[in-house]
Amino acid sequence: MSGQAKSTVTLDLDGVLIQNPFGSYVVPTVLGHLERSARLAGRERAAAHRELRGAISAEWQRRMDRRDFVAAYHWDEIYGVVAEAYGVSGLPDVTRLVEEGSAQGHVHALPGAHQALHLLRERGLRTVALTNGYRRYQWPVLEALGLAPLFDDLESPEAHGYAKPQPELFHAVGEVLAHVGDTLEHDVLGANLAGVRAVWVVPELPGPDPVVAGEALANPDFSTFFGEMQDRAIYLRHHPEATAALLTPWVAVRNVLDGARAIVEQLT
């Protein structure tokens, strides 16, 4: 590829390279503030948290239902709406909570994360994080895990006004060789809509092979598994544009390192 512009590989973050701190730190900390609401006085803590989680989820759902896929990832705003409804003020800044959670070990790199990024970069490829998580919630995690220096850039919805699977977010990156992601209806659908090869990371991948590609994607064992995974695709109802063909990846792999190997072996 000498003399040409470097080719770019885009990579999803959550479920591919990182475990973020929302589940074990950010959300529990936010709930700890919201539970002080006078509306919840006298309630069992577990019941209060259940109700609050329901309210957060309902606000996220409203945003998804109106197809405002960018606002659906604005967690300061979503928690803020719930705090207002419950008459609670002084909610902590989510970026600060992400930084605290990352510093306190509520994050980890997923198997093969560092090796995959090193491999792609050693082959002269640009690596760009392409995530529906806002930059201010994602970059601190990459820094805490030592992954930030292995990226050329990060593209996220708030900067462009589009979220995966909207192809405009992929187009914002420019020419992309392949996209690696774990969510069928965000990563595979989005990549296919954008005309980019989709590398689907699926830890439950059946069979002995690290990579399933081409005709093997159509064999009965894989298609049964693939059908089950589509049934579990929780965002699919928001994307009526998803056909079977648009949900079919270029290759399916068990982890990001196998995905990076497939890319360097077959595309470079």
Per CB under 5 A, residues contacting Mg ion are: 12, 14-15, 182-183
Where helices occur in the chain by DSSP H, the ranges are 27-34, 45-65, 75-85, 94-103, 113-122, 135-144, 157-160, 167-171, 189-194, 220-231, 256-267
Shortest spacing between CB 174 and Mg ion, in angstroms: 21
> What secondary structure does DSSP assign to 71-86, as a single string?
GGG-HHHHHHHHHHHT
Report the residue number, 55 or 180, with the smaller CB distance to Mg ion: 180
Shortest spacing between CB 58 and Mg ion, in angstroms: 22
> Which DSSP symbol is given to 12?
-
- Residue nearest Mg ion (C-beta atom): 15
Report the residue number, 183 or 192, with the smaller CB distance to Mg ion: 183
Shortest spacing between CB 94 and Mg ion, in angstroms: 19
Shortest spacing between CB 152 and Mg ion, in angstroms: 19
What span, in angstroms and rounded, lies between the C-alpha atoms of 226 and 247? Answer: 10
> Judging by DSSP bridges, how do beta strands 251-253 and 211-213 pair with one another?
antiparallel
What span, in angstroms and rounded, lies between the C-alpha atoms of 190 and 95? Answer: 27
- Plot region of 25 (φ>0 → left; ψ -120 to 50 → alpha; else → beta): alpha
Report the residue number, 9 or 48, with the smaller CB distance to Mg ion: 9
Shortest spacing between CB 186 and Mg ion, in angstroms: 7
- Give the containing element (helix H, strand E) for 109: strand 108-109
Report the residue number, 14 or 59, with the smaller CB distance to Mg ion: 14
Report the residue number, 29 or 183, with the smaller CB distance to Mg ion: 183
